[in-house]
Amino acid sequence: MTTAALTANAQEYYMNQPTVNACQGAFLDSNGNGGPYGDNENFTSVICPDGTGPAISLQWVIFNLSSAGVSPNDQMSIYDGDNTSAPLIGTWVAGDNPGIISASFANPTGCLTVVFTSNGTGTGDFAANITCFQPCEPPTAVATFGSAIPLLACQGEEITFNASASTAASGFNIEQYIWEFADGTVDSTSGEVVTHAFTDPAEYVVQVTVVDDNDCASVNVVDLQVLVSTTPLFTGTTGDTTICQGDSLPLVSDPTAVTWSALPESNLGGGLFLPDLQGVPFNTSITFTNFDPGQTLTDPTDLLSVCATMEHSYMGDLVIQISCPNGQTTVFHQQGGGGTYIGVPVDDESETPGTCWEYCWSPTATNGTWIENAGATIPAGTYESVQPFSNLIGCPLMANGPLPLLTSSQSITVTSAIGRSHSIRTSSPASQYTRQCSGKQPTLLHGRART
């Protein structure tokens, strides 16, 4: 968690003030910077921009709530709006720290409503820096390659990809297009239209991320599937080996197609930017097409694991769950764990992501949940889910499956984005295809395999 100090000589505002209009200053408990809050307090303060910025952000630099006395203990709740009917961002008690709490782009007021209550035993103190900022509304990436999906290509054939239909939020413009070609090539300089050739036969899922001039990155996934052909064998081609000058030579062409095959791998390409939108779910979908229509999950152990390669500086502000197309869900992590590091985050105001570690959840794991393994840093590995994988029995397999990751209570990561990716491992068919570059359509073969 980031250690910070109150802004020097800042205007002071207090928890017992019903309204605060400011884009800079210090927000303090009822007794100010010199002493603790009192017993039996119940205050609500609405903090709004003063006109010099569109939305409020609070950086909590002191947060020492008392845990003494009987329940309910001293606690603070923050809402994403100008009243307590707005969406609840989170509630914090002793041992927690909200970190950085900001109004979301879905909040038209730009305000935050803070509610603090204390019981009759024990006191503490808290303080936050007030700033204003422009909320991030992610742009939408849209890309095509002028062909039906999948695009069938030969080795070395140039393919044109076009993301000019991508859109930014109102008032903003797209500044950068980041193309990932799944062959190790990443192009962040060519712009909205790029050409690329694949040298090896394989399946490639090309993806694009767009970034606008508010430094907001798209979070929707664009999958452009390209099947690059193998080289046929001509060992079956025959003809006379001895002829006279001027004679015609009959040739019989009988090439043998070479089949490319691989186990299915569902992925979201490289790292995705996870925006700090407190209380707003980040959802991404993974598409499976290799199952039989109508097939469902009947045994939770057939879903070997769900993995995320990620880094984050505060485990306590995350909710991670998987959802089926029919609405079934199971929760992998439900907040908790406080300031435990996930991976090796860059815990300052740098926009450079840290080092991502792979974390998996499996129905056969035996080493406990994330919370049960919380500490300074949670090791990479496979963990138990908070809710059982049996919640997913009956989940349709032949459909998009969204993977929501929700910073529901708060986000204290001070980087503007976190690099992250997901992978899914399932019991599913192998994928194979055969193609000769002569306009012939590919032959799709299916066989059962277990990853």
Q: Indicate whether 120 and 179 sit together in one domain.
A: no
The answer to whether residue 94 sits within a structural domain is yes
What pLDDT does 399 receive? Answer: 54
Question: What percent of the chain has pLDDT above 90?
Answer: 45
pLDDT value at 97 more than 50: yes
Q: Band of the pLDDT at 135, cuts 50, 70, 90?
A: confident
Find the range with the poorest average confidence among 1-5, 25-29, 62-66, 272-276.
1-5
The set of residues, in sequence order, having a beta carbon less than 8 Å from that of 44 and lying 6+ positions away, is 18, 84, 113, 114, 115, 116
Same domain flag for 88 and 154: no
Task: Residue 45: give its domain's CATH number.
Answer: 2.60.120.290
Query: 177-219 pLDDT, tens per residue?
Result: 999 999 999 999 999 999 999 999 999 999 999 999 988 899 8
Domain boundary among 82, 99, 133: 133
258-316 per-position pLDDT tens digit: 888 776 555 555 556 565 555 556 666 666 656 667 788 899 888 888 888 888 888 88
pLDDT score for 42 = 97
Establish if 117 belongs to a structural domain.
yes
What's the mean per-residue pLDDT of the chain?
79
Lowest-confidence region among 95-109, 308-322, 411-425 = 411-425
Lowest average pLDDT, out of 197-201, 245-249, 251-255, 434-438, goes to: 434-438
- CATH number of the domain where residue 272 is located: 2.60.120
- Kindly state whether residue 3 falls inside one of the protein's structural domains: no
| Of 133, 151, 181, the domain-final residue | 133
Is residue 254 included in any domain, yes or no? no
Within a domain: 199: yes
Within a domain: residue 439? Answer: no
Predicted pLDDT at 351: 63
| Domain shared by 201 and 299, yes or no | no
Asked if residue 207 and residue 314 are part of one domain, the reply reads: no
Residue-wise pLDDT tens digits, 359-373 = 999 999 999 999 999
The model carries a pTM of 0.53
| Per-residue confidence (pLDDT) for residue 292, from 0 to 100 | 66
Higher pLDDT pick, 402 / 207 = 207
The pLDDT of residue 295 is 82
| Per-residue pLDDT at 115 | 97
> Could you tell me the pLDDT band of residue 108, with boundaries at 50, 70 and 90?
very high
Tell me, yes or no, whether 384 and 289 share the same domain.
Answer: yes
CATH of the domain at 167: 2.60.40.10
Percent of the chain with pLDDT over 70: 76
State which of 203, 228, 253 marks the end of a domain: 228
The string of pLDDT tens digits covering residues 38-71 is 999 999 999 999 988 899 999 999 999 999 998 8
* Residue 106 located in a structural domain: yes
Residue 422 banded pLDDT, cuts 50, 70, 90: very low
Judged against a pLDDT cut of 60, whether residue 403 lies above it is answered with no
pLDDT at 427 over 60: no
Q: Number of structural domains, the chain?
A: 3
One domain for residues 277 and 418: yes
Report the pLDDT value the prediction gives residue 270, as an integer from 0 to 100.
Answer: 54
Half-sphere exposure of 322 (CA within 13 A, CB side): 27
Tally of CB atoms within 10 A around 439: 7
In a domain, 285, yes or no: yes
Q: What's the pLDDT score for residue 448? A: 25
Range of the domain at 28: 12-133
Both 43 and 110 in one domain: the answer is yes
